[in-house]
Structure 1
Amino acid sequence: MNTLRNVDLIIEARWIIPVEPANTTLEHHAVVIDKGLIADLLPIHKSHECYTATEIVELPEHVLLPGLINAHTHAAMSLLRGIADDLPLTPWLQDAIWPMEQKLVSSQFVYDGTSLAAAEMLCGGITCASDMYFFPDDAARAFSDAGMRAALGITIIDFPSNYATTADDYLHKGLQARENWKENPLINFALAPHAPYTVSNQSFERIATLAEELDTGIHIHIHETTQEIRGSLAQHGVRPLARLDGLGLIGPNSQLVHAVYLTECEQQLIAARNCSVIHNPTSNMKLASGIAPVNSMLAQGINVALGTDGAASNNRLDIFQEMRHAALLAKVTSGDASALPAHQVIRMATLNGAQSLGLQEQIGSIQHGKEADLCAVSLGSPQNTPCYDPASHLVYVAGRESVTDVWVQGKPRVRTGSLLHASNKELLSISRLWQNATKR
């Protein structure tokens, strides 16, 4: 007589998209979770023969997939959502955003803004975010309080802000935050020089050395606009990517954000160096920055992940929106309706994002031994039916409003559409407080 193994949680779903193996949709399967890890993935009827569970969650009209990964955002800027719309990048930054940040940004601003962003992302199925902003210690605290996974960028720029005064000061404070959170399994750090036009060669050289010593990622905006490239040619005599490569910053740990304007040779360099590119289609469209050559990059074998950018330039932290926009832009720019099919874009939003952050062994797919970061999407509403292909529905039909349940390390963070760690009343109070502060 077989003895049933007792586990913490079994999630039974109508469909499961594990992401790995690729192009796979499983029907009437169950994910078995124990001690925060995925212990098994098998047909529901077989799970009854092998396991008992403290809790069983039934999802009869849902697709279960890995938690979505927002591979680039500025979470605290949720408090600046819509404050300066319909402007191109440079005046948006210089005339609107930077002056408002000078007025408002503080430790409390970052904690509150990140808390608001974490709530928005969790409710939209995002279980992990790569954040680039000031006061990373406070951002880490907000993500930790929400029970959400985060990779915090240690922002470095060569001019003062409310957070730090010099590049060395940014590094010192950021590395101290990294030390403070080293025991938290949900919080990781990367070095995050803001952009080639805000960081000097001397600072870049120090960042390259530190990244190698610490074996950590380098997260940077690059080749976002034609103006950035013209400025680099005028000041340094080379395009930004070539400059950074010469300074030792382009390698397997590099996370290149935006990468809109790339030549064929530059794409080949990125592929050869095994870098990741973070595609932010909605923000790029809204700021009229351009359209990244995603089809070409994928053909070169480059790992391309998805990000939302900040809520001040998007204005949503919504990876469902990014999946849809990425797929449609890939088709219209190539003239090929088969470009970037649904399963591939879901992979960009999950496993590719994990790979860009160096977390592919922990998250990004539903596989034995990985951490149970998962989200469930209901396809049972009239606007989501009929469903012939759940992968297609995730990209072209369903939105974040269809997310019902979210788990991080097997712990529920959203249940039946409701956030568990904070109330709407609390979040609205935060939002109103800072909106009033912008008027003073």
Structure 2
Amino acid sequence: MPALTLVNAVLLPMADAAPGAPDWFVGWMRVDESGRISGIGPGSPPPEAADGPAATVVDAGGTIVAPGFVSAHSHLFTSGLRGIAPGSTLYPWLQAMSEVFRHADAEAMYWSTVHGALDFLACGITSAYNFTQSRVSWVFDPATARSTVGTVHPPEYLTRQFDGAADTGLRVMTAIRLDDEAAPEPQVLGTFADMVAACAERTPADQHLGASVFGAVQWAASPRTAEIEAQVMREHGIGNQSHFLETAQDVEVQRAKFAWYTDAGVLGPALLLGHFVHPTDEMVTAAAEAGCGMVWQATSNGRLGSGIADVVRFARAGMRIGMGLDDQSCTDQSDPFGNMRLGMYTMRALHTDASVLMPREVLRMHTLGSAEVLGVADRVGSLEIGKFADFVVVDHRAPGTGPVWDVYATYVMACGLRNLKQVYVGGALVSEDGRCTGPLAADVDDALHDRITRAARAAGMHPALDPARQVPDARP
């Protein structure tokens, strides 16, 4: 790609500035031909910034330029089920969604993932940790807090999800579930290894942020699941993000399983605790002392009535915090601005302290903080020399938000998707005014509607606005 020089921008690099150095400034940024940042600073570009290939100059016109958002906990394949089970808590909602995916084929999973990934890009999310839908469709029984095998799909059911994310240009860390309770262990380990290799082979190198274990101890029947997860983490040199203590249902059963991870030796910097809404003080202390990270889904936790994850408490204990948009079927809008605001305001209400979480802090959680917990902060999460040039252009004047008294407060508290004008990945424009510019954007809506409604009908479910069931209007 051609080099690019951005000028006249209000830059929020989100790098941890040295003491006394400004952490935002009006200035410039240069992107080299590899799509990485080769220079950044206040004022006008110095003469030496012009060295090398001639760059296209883009005048930002005083707009705010910040890193693309990083969603550290996402399920891209759920993009076609927004609004499903609107009054349900976690497990009834999950059961309704699972029925659809039991009847979906590999191409339905491909287009669902494409739709989710393009939606992320259009909303300024340039990197995501993606929990793929397992080849095994599990049926959860709330009475026993155990899962049973529903449908086992062919490998393409999973690998086409890898393709869906890869084909959109989104940077992605791919989480794969072991499904150790569905098959003999040698087969489980072999299949997992094959899928780790496949996600790397099928994703362009610059987009591939790595593979991860889709931690499943919350739904497991025995401590053996934690032991196998620990084994593959060591063998493949990868991390693990576990949905843990997400819901208020059967809290004591869930809490008892924390010891499974402790006994298996999993607690440490490579373990991320997704949700972590209902831990005891002892669990928080143990996780923090071990170096575990935590990923916060403020919008999802509210939508599903899961509870409030007290990230202020976790941060004070020493835990690293990232943020995620979770399922698009339980956040419904892939809105990182809304996610930040809902989370920040909830913390302020919980602690009855309006200063307990400030705009820059929550923005860091959704950018550099998320990159740090995922172990990819050397590549994404902030605007620094050597990192990928993934950034958003936000115009606080269109629509106008009034005088800017505090740049971070205006960006986080007053701006939103309506102000998001452009999204760049690797210095290339991927979305403008909420519309993705890639070749799949023209086909994705029709493909998603066709395939996901077909799967839903097979499960006995029908969209409220389903052309296959609507009666023609008989009025004259």
TM over 0.5: yes
- Quote the Cα distance in structure 2 between the aligned partners of 1:74 and 1:159: 22
Q: What is the match of residue 75 of structure 2?
A: 74
| Partner AA of 2:197 in structure 1 | E
Give the one of 448, 457, 460 matched to 1:439: 457
Between 289-298 and 45-54, report the one with greater CA deviation.
Answer: 45-54
For residue 28 of structure 1, the aligned residue among 18, 26, 50 is 26
Name whichever of 137-146 and 328-337 sits farther off.
Answer: 137-146
Question: What is the deviation of 1:49?
Answer: 6.2
Q: Deviations over 1:149-179 (max 9, x none)?
A: 000101233555xxxx677656533432321
Q: 1:266 to 1:375 in 2, by over 3 A?
A: same
**TM-score for the superposition, normalised by structure 1:** 0.90
2:61 alignment partner, SS class? strand
Q: Secondary structure at the match of 1:316?
A: coil
Rounded to whole Å, the distance in 2 between the matches of 1:143 and 1:194 is 22
Aligned 1:3-402 pairs, distance under 5 A: 8-21=3-16, 24-34=22-32, 35-47=34-46, 50-51=49-50, 53-94=54-95, 96-104=96-104, 106-134=105-133, 135-158=157-180, 171-182=189-200, 184-187=205-208, 188-198=210-220, 200-232=222-254, 239-402=256-419
Structure 1's 64 and 13: CA in aligned 2 closer, same or farther, altered over 3 A?
Answer: farther
3-state DSSP of counterpart to 1:439: helix
Question: Partner of 2:144 in structure 1?
Answer: none
Offset of residue 295 of structure 1 = 0.7
State the SS of the aligned residue for 2:235: helix
Query: Counterpart of 2:59 in structure 1: which amino acid?
Result: E
The answer to whether 1:407 aligns with 2:424 is: yes
Distance 1:166 1:227 in 2: 30
Deviations 1:319-356 (A, max 9, x none): 21211111111100001000110110010001111111
2:141: which partner in 1? none
Code of the residue aligned with 1:230 in structure 2: it is: E
Structure 2 residue matching 1:376: 3-state secondary structure: strand
CA distance in 2, matches of 1:429, 1:139: 18
The answer (yes or no) to whether the contact 1:73–1:310 under 8 Å persists in 2 is yes
Q: 1:175 is paired with a residue of what secondary structure?
A: helix
Return 5+ residue gaps in structure 1 as ranges. 1-6, 233-237
Deviation, structure 1 residue 42: 1.4
Q: Distance in 1 between matches of 2:433 and 2:97?
A: 36
2:472: which partner in 1?
A: none
Q: Is the 8 A contact 1:354 1:360 kept in 2?
A: yes
Kindly state the Cα deviation for residue 424 of structure 1 after the two structures are TM-superposed.
5.0
Aligned to 1:235: none
Q: CA deviation at 1:138?
A: 1.9
- Contact 2:68–2:423 (CA under 8 A) maintained in structure 1: yes
- Matched pairs, number: 423
Q: Which runs of 5+ in 2 are unaligned?
A: 134-156, 459-476
Return the alpha-carbon distance in structure 1 between the equivalents of residues 343 and 377 of structure 2: 22
Q: For structure 1, which segment, 194-203 or 310-319, has the greater mean C-alpha deviation from structure 2 after superposition?
A: 194-203
Cα distance in structure 2, aligned partners of 1:167 and 1:421: 41
Secondary structure in structure 2 of the residue aligned to 1:203: helix
- 1:168–1:337 CA distance, 2 compared to 1 (3 A): farther
* CA shift in 2, pair 1:294/1:47, >3 Å: same
| 2:436 is aligned with 1:419 | yes
Distance in 1, matches of 2:126 and 2:158, equals 18
Aligned-partner residue type, residue 72 of structure 2:
A
Question: In the TM superposition, what whole-angstrom CA distance separates every residue of 1:391-439 from its partner, at most 9, and x where no partner exists?
Answer: 1122211112322222222232224543111465412202321353123
Q: Distance in 1 between matches of 2:421 and 2:444?
A: 19
TM-score for both structures, normalised by structure 2: 0.83
Structure 2: how far apart are the matches of 1:60 and 1:27? 14
Tell me the distance in 1 between the aligned counterparts of 2:112 and 2:188: 20
Give the root-mean-square deviation of aligned CA atoms: 2.2
Corresponding residue number in structure 1 for 2:468: none
Bigger mean CA deviation after superposition, 370-379 or 283-292 = 370-379
Give % identity: 25
- Residues 394 and 170 of structure 1: is their aligned pair in 2 closer, same or farther, counting only changes over 3 Å? farther
Secondary structure class of the residue paired with 1:141: helix
Letter paired with 2:16? P
Change (3 A) 1:262 1:231: closer
Query: What one-letter code is carried by the residue in structure 1 that aligns with 2:293?
Result: S
